[in-house]
């Protein structure tokens, strides 16, 4: 994938497809169906509600994606970058609405950090790393959107 295509794909995963070409869908999503919109659609209570018995809550998915995007951006800058010393996403959920809002801000910042890293010259391994991160984020975004839709259907 070219750097331009990687950046365009990241924009789609984060915000939904660019509709300037008149198409209603993109590679991974439909209009207004990006990760940031899906995450921001969740209330604090919804974010802490598991998708089902033994399944993670939406906030854990968001934290996982934030951590993954941050780490990928760090790896693209330095192939030996270590993950930050913080709790695993699957073992932690924000305890307050303020913490949840903070995670949403950090998610957007992680997306921006990866976007900026995609302007660096990337070797083949860097391109693979970036592409894998985008596919991973697209996959979890789809799961998050499904979870949001289920929560909204149950409430309405």
Closest by alpha carbon to 90, among 47, 126, 56? 56
For residue 123, pLDDT over 70 is answered with yes
The 3-state DSSP class for residue 153 equals helix
pLDDT band at 25 (very low <50, low <70, confident <90, very high): low
For residue 22, pLDDT over 60 is answered with no
**Segments forming the whole domain that contains residue 31:** 3-155
Closest by alpha carbon to 146, among 10, 19, 42? 42
Per the DSSP assignment, residues forming a β-bridge with 150 are none
pLDDT digit string, tens, across residues 140-156: 998 898 888 888 888 76
CA distance 29 to 66: 19
CA distance 3 to 8: 9
Residue 124: its pLDDT value, please?
A: 94
Place of tokens 């990928």: 72
The 3-state DSSP class for residue 28 equals coil
Burial of 144: CB neighbours in 10 Å, binned 0-12, 13-18, 19+: buried
Residue 24: its pLDDT value, please?
A: 57
For residue 26, pLDDT over 90 is answered with no
pLDDT digit string, tens, across residues 55-110: 899 999 999 999 999 999 999 999 998 887 787 888 888 999 999 999 999 999 99
CATH code, domain with 83: 1.20.120
Largest CA distance in the chain: 49
pLDDT band at 30 (very low <50, low <70, confident <90, very high): low
Phi, psi angle pair for 57, to nearest 5°: -85, 165
Pick 4 or 33 by higher pLDDT. Answer: 4
- What is the total count of domains within the chain? 1
pLDDT digit string, tens, across residues 39-49: 998 999 999 98
């Amino acid at each position: 994938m070219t750097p331009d295509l990687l950046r365009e794909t990241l924009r789609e995963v984060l915000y939904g497809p660019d509709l300037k070409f008149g198409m209603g869908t993109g590679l991974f999503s439909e209009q207004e169906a990006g990760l940031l919109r899906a995450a921001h659609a969740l209330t604090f209570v919804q974010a802490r509600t598991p998708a089902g018995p033994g399944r993670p809550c939406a906030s854990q998915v968001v934290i996982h994606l934030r951590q993954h995007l941050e780490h990928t951006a760090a790896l693209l800058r330095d192939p030996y970058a270590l993950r930050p010393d913080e709790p695993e996403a699957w073992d932690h959920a924000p305890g307050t609405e303020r913490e949840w809002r903070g995670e949403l801000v950090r998610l957007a910042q992680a997306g921006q950090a990866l976007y900026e890293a995609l302007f660096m010259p990337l070797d083949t391994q860097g391109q693979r790393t970036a592409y894998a991160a985008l596919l991973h984020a697209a996959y979890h975004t789809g799961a998050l959107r499904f979870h949001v839709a289920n929560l909204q259907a149950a409430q309405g």
